[in-house]
Amino acid sequence: MQMTLIRGIGPTERNKNMDKVEKTVKFKVEKETKNTVKYNEVPAEGQPPIIGTLYVQKWFAGNATEIEVTIRK
């Protein structure tokens, strides 16, 4: 493992495979509020949640009981 100091931020593991990561997270509806729908993450088995709770405006969520969010970093 090679560690590098980048711009004084601190040690960072240099790994080209980790430079760009894309993850799709699934959510199921928990409840509706006046203007939003509250979704809870459905984590992969044995994994901790990445986001946890997500609120989406009703005008966009509509009647969706399940949604997916893709994160790129």
Dump the DSSP string for 1-39.
--EEE-TTS-EEE--GGGSS-EEEEEEEEEEE-SSEEEE
pLDDT at 24: 94
The predicted model gives 15-26 an average pLDDT of 78
C-alpha 46 chain-centroid distance: 16
Please say if the pLDDT value at position 9 is more than 60.
no
pTM, rounded to two decimals: 0.70
Instruction: Summarize pLDDT for 31-48 with one digit per residue, the tens.
Output: 999 999 999 999 999 999
Within 10 Å of residue 43's Cβ, how many Cβ atoms?
Answer: 14
